[in-house]
Amino acid sequence: MHEFSITTQLVDSVLQELKKYDVKKVNEVYIEIGELTFLAHEQVKFAYEILTKDNILKDSKLVIKERKTVCKCSACGYEGSIEYENDEAHHFSFPKLCCPKCGSDVEIIKGKDCVVKNIKAVVENV
């Protein structure tokens, strides 16, 4: 399961970050998932629950936000959001991976990754 391995990495990086502090309990973990990862958010939450059963993240809430795609065009210098193509038949819009300005191939600079944005935790002696 794709979601499971990604969530394992996210949980690992959160735990790594928490090692630096004297954390008593974690309340919320905020992550952003790039839309081009095509991860199912519910599956990520499910994996998160399993992966945090036996550690300090137990009972913490995972807050997922979708990270919009940002592209860069080397042909005309455009940098920004991409356009979407609507698939009426499947009620689905998918990102077009070409420059909205000139139609050249673009480089995706955001949207293919998952990042931990914020961790709300209770710290000892505060």
> What residues line the site for Zn ion (CB under 5 A)?
73, 75-76, 78, 99, 101-102, 104
Instruction: In whole angstroms, give the CA distance from residue 60 to residue 20.
Output: 18
Q: Please, are residues 84 and 108 in contact by the beta-carbon 8 Å criterion?
A: no
| Cβ nearer to Zn ion, comparing 28 with 105 | 105
Q: Please, are residues 85 and 77 in contact by the beta-carbon 8 Å criterion?
A: no
Q: Please, are residues 106 and 73 in contact by the beta-carbon 8 Å criterion?
A: yes
| Cβ nearer to Zn ion, comparing 4 with 78 | 78
Shortest Cβ 101–Zn ion spacing (Å): 4
Shortest Cβ 110–Zn ion spacing (Å): 17
| Cβ nearer to Zn ion, comparing 103 with 123 | 103
Shortest Cβ 80–Zn ion spacing (Å): 10
Q: Please, are residues 3 and 81 in contact by the beta-carbon 8 Å criterion?
A: no
What is the edge-to-edge ordering of all strands in the sheet holding 79-81?
79-81, 70-73, 106-110
User: Hey, is 34 helix, strand or coil?
Assistant: strand
Q: Which amino acid is at 82?
A: I
| Cβ nearer to Zn ion, comparing 75 with 123 | 75
Shortest Cβ 107–Zn ion spacing (Å): 11
